[in-house]
Amino acid sequence: MLGSRLDNQSGPYRRQLLGGALAAFLALALAGAAPAQAPATAPALAVAKADAARYDETVKTLASPEMEGRGAGTKGIERAARMLEERYRSLGLEPAGTEGYFQPFTVTTGAKLASHNDLQEDLGGTKKTLKLNEDFVPFSFSSSGQAEGPLVFAGYGVSAAEFGYDDYAGVDVQGKIVVLVRYEPTGFAAKGGHQGLTQHAALISKAINARNHGAKAVVIVNGKLPDGEEDLLTRFGSVSGPENAGVLLVQVKNKIAEDWFAAAGKSLAAVQDQINGSTKPASFAFPATQRLSVAVDIDTLHASVNNVLAYLPGKSDEYVIVGAHYDHLGYGNADSLAPSQIGQIHPGADDNASGTSGVLELARLFAPLKGQLARGILFMSFAGEELGLLGSAHWAQQPTRPLGKAIAMINMDMIGRIKGEKVYVGGVGTGSTFRPILAADQKNSPFHFEYSAGGYAASDHTSFVARKIPVLFFFSGLHSDYHKPSDTWEKINAADAARLLDFVAGVITQLDTAAERPRFITVAAEDPHSGVTSTGGGGGYGPWFGSIPDFGQSENGVRFSDIQPGSPAAKAGLKAGDVLVDFAGKPIRNLYDFTDALQRSKVGDVVNVTVLRDGKPLKASVTLVQRR
Ligand SMILES: [Zn+2]
């Protein structure tokens, strides 16, 4: 599953995208779910039962050290691709890629600092060379190159016509180096009519705006920090952005910028207070004798990866897609939720060796029915998912089978941790026949299904719903090992995963044999401001609480499906299964309430919370800490 690559301040855009995506699980609106016609049931075809031991063995192989966490650019992901190809071939499935079973494409895997990263200040003749990673650091989406010139302070670097606010009004930054503080004027939230930051606070917005005003380089400082927070440099590579923002972009520590302000007879804090107090810009040019010399040198890393595609022909040219991504985070990238363990293999047993093995197991079950089913089945193993759903998007752009003949897409991403026989199913509102099909199949299933209508979420089926193909998404829920080296194979619940595969096989059989194909239905967008990520333990600004919400729970509190070890919530004695109902005196009815309350809190706050444990209220004190 695609993570939320949110740094502490970087991206309201991304935050909204992913927050909204995950909100699809919240089973909010059922809008658009038209009454469905019962599918015609065809004579039952003999599909064998999934084999839990065989499934488990495949997960173990995919999550083994030789596969190197299946990170783009590793030998391990190539090994995984060849293993998938070999399995599909041995089942007698037809190659359905562009080069046999493979459909290769190129991805950007990251950036690294090369040798020449340099920052020198000249304050009226007093020169100083600043230290990389101590005084300053480039952002990974900075251009590479050099610039030298005078400095201009341009406040938050925001031009917000809608608020009648422009930090660039009255200052000339053409060919100069701009100094900006992070975030945005505090008055924007009220003007915008909501609590969160606007898109103007995103680093990439600031970079683009500075570039468009002619600046040669951008220097970002944290500026004023909430009480108790340290002035940290952003770890290189931890903020996502485009490959190249088209301008030099570095961060310096507050104390460095404070020297510049002092040399100009000003104070950074006072200027920032002035902007916030009035919601009016306070931009100015530093004295011409204050100059900066910036050099940024970044290597962008690319890799060629492969979707692995295999086809089981049916009697017609229509087909059902059954897919799962097989890539993961390799040795950990910006999406790792264990930043201190970057460099260790992130084996991704649940994410998504579990779904990949599921596709292989289904391929094995259906392979003997070659040519007998009414429709074909296209089995897809995607690469590039963790980098932004790239493999599925690539296929949707360059389909290797006619897109219009794909009647439905079934995606499995993280199906290996079924707990309490609970399974989330997304997209049930996107196909006209899905509800009766699921209902028919559910009769023979031990699971409690949490259905949500929408088809947008942080996984590959999103690429298909965007092409108006009905999708179903199977998911066993988040957990505290998500995107960490501890997502290991022995934690996989193979017995339940196999039972789920039997259920999915039933759905595929019905879809494949029904007289009528499902009609695509657009499901109304769900609330983009869920902010699930800020409680879900990803990055996200604001203090860290450390709970993982149960996405099925949408009323009467927030149930924790897990608590992150070592987190403030864990230290306060909170446990999986607890239902949060009060946070610092504010009633918590749902995840939105919780997210809002958390965002209004500060690092260091000791928050009294009430949870229901086994139905009885229990009070706890949680000391919120800073995310890193
Ligand atoms: Zn993932």
Q: What is the pLDDT of residue 539?
A: 33
Pick 547 or 297 by higher pLDDT. 297
Q: Is the distance from CB of 309 to CB of 323 less than 8 angstroms?
A: no
Gap from CA of 411 to ligand 1 centroid (Å): 14
Contacts for 551 with CB less than 8 Å, ≥ 6 apart: 22, 25, 26, 424, 450, 477, 478, 532, 561
Strands 547-549, 558-563: parallel, antiparallel or unpaired by DSSP?
Answer: antiparallel
Gap from CA of 613 to ligand 1 centroid (Å): 30
179: buried, middle or exposed (CB in 10 Å: 19+, 13-18, 0-12)? buried
Contacts for 71 with CB less than 8 Å, ≥ 6 apart: 77, 109, 327, 328, 329, 330, 331, 333, 346
Is residue 18 over pLDDT 50? Answer: no
Is residue 584 over pLDDT 80? Answer: yes
Strand partners, 607: 622
Gap from CA of 6 to ligand 1 centroid (Å): 14
Gap from CA of 496 to ligand 1 centroid (Å): 21
In percent, the amount of the chain with pLDDT more than 90 equals 64
Number of other CB atoms surrounding residue 124 within 10 Å: 12
Gap from CA of 134 to ligand 1 centroid (Å): 31
Q: What is the pLDDT of residues 119-177, one digit of tens each?
A: 999 999 999 999 999 999 999 889 999 999 999 999 999 998 888 999 999 999 999 99
Using the structure block, give the residue that is written with the tokens 């149930």. 559
Q: What is the pLDDT of residue 21?
A: 31
Q: What is the pLDDT of residue 242?
A: 62
Contacts for 223 with CB less than 8 Å, ≥ 6 apart: 181, 182, 183, 254, 268, 269, 272
Residue 319: what residue type?
Y
Angstrom CA distances, 541 to 109, 223, 625, stand at 25, 15, 11
In percent, the amount of the chain with pLDDT more than 70 equals 87
Q: What is the pLDDT of residues 337-396, one digit of tens each?
A: 887 788 999 999 999 999 999 999 999 999 999 999 999 999 999 999 988 889 999 999
Strand partners, 95: 310
Using the structure block, give the residue that is written with the tokens 């104390």. 255
Considering the chain, what is the average pLDDT of its residues?
Answer: 86
Min mean pLDDT across 48-57, 372-381, 564-573 is at 564-573
**3-class SS at 16?**
helix
Q: What is the pLDDT of residue 40?
A: 46
Min mean pLDDT across 319-328, 350-359, 418-427 is at 418-427
Q: What is the pLDDT of residue 524?
A: 67
Gap from CA of 151 to ligand 1 centroid (Å): 41
pTM for the structure as a whole: 0.71
Q: What is the pLDDT of residue 28?
A: 24
Pick 310 or 587 by higher pLDDT. 310
Q: What is the pLDDT of residue 191?
A: 78
Q: What is the pLDDT of residues 239-291, one digit of tens each?
A: 666 667 889 999 999 999 999 999 999 999 999 999 999 999 999 999 999 99
Surrounding ion ligand 1 within 5 Å at CB are 1, 351
